[in-house]
Structure 1
Amino acid sequence: DDPAFILSVGRAVEKKGYDVLLRALALLPADLHWRMGHIGGGEELSKLKALAAELGLSGRIVWKGAMAQEDVLDHYRRADIFALACRIAGNGDRDGLPNVLVEASSQRLVCLSTAVSGVPELLNNGENGLVVPPEDPALLARALEAAIRDPALRKRLGDAAERRVREEFDYHSSIRQLTGLFEAEWQKAS
């Protein structure tokens, strides 16, 4: 009976693809029980709120604005799904690997995103997240529907995402990797 809580964190700017995410949400079947929270400011916020209203989504979305990191962390822990529809903006601007995807993954939160820039370095579709091509609201909607309808899928992918972050993306792992590279270079030079 509880709606699935979809969370997205990021500035409301073109490269984050919030218009694509809203269009995907509008394509979800009427029988799905969900709500979404957005955390962040940004110059496109008023335009996105207007689009949400136009798409009939206003009653399901809460625009929370900017928040302190500890409050964002609390939202990650309460969410069921994290969604970010990254894209390459018209001026070429794009994310590398959005920190919010790493943060959400570290909290065992299943992430849905797009195959842009560094996202596929963190998320492997069907293994530790759901990844679709950018600019495709229909495919994003299918991934969202699958995650909303299947709590076991969310748990499996969220657990795998957390393991991947701990093994490959935390600072201890990075220090070990750098140490190994420096030692290998030192051995070559000796």
Structure 2
Amino acid sequence: MAHGRPVINTNLSSGVPWVARDGREAITVTADDVEELSAAIQRFAYDCELVDQRGEAAERRVKSEFNYTLFCDRTEALYSALCVKGSDHG
């Protein structure tokens, strides 16, 4: 995504579908569905406009949601919240 490439991912109950969202930066397929995966690969293989659109969206998402500064700020906020919760037990 950071290099402007779209994603094919699965709809697992993880953060992956949130990072690369279906219809925006990705095509999300059902896990273990080989035909659906094949169709997604075919769409990207033959639709350069779709690849470009989703790739540009992917790069924008990385820059806006997963950049270094934002990562550091979110990590610091999480640690601060954990320290506050931890001090309640001390």
Q: TM-score range by the shorter chain?
A: 0.7 to 0.9
Deviation at 1:180, TM superposition (A): 4.8
Alignment of 1:1-190 (within 5 A): 105-116=1-12, 117-180=14-77, 182=80
**TM-score, structure 2 as length reference:** 0.76
SS in 2 for 1:106: coil
Which stretches of structure 1, 4 residues or longer, exceed 3 Å deviation after superposition? 178-183
Q: 1 or 2 for the larger relative contact order (CA 8 Å, sep ≥6)? A: 2
Higher helix share: 2
- Asked if 1 retains the 8 angstrom alpha-carbon contact of 2:8 and 2:28, the reply is yes
Root-mean-square deviation (Å): 2.0
SS in 2 for 1:130: strand
What do residues 17-60 of structure 1 show as CA deviations (whole Å, max 9, x unaligned)? xxxxxxxxxxxxxxxxxxxxxxxxxxxxxxxxxxxxxxxxxxxx
State how many pairs are aligned. Answer: 81
- Asked if 1 retains the 8 angstrom alpha-carbon contact of 2:9 and 2:17, the reply is no
Identity %: 28
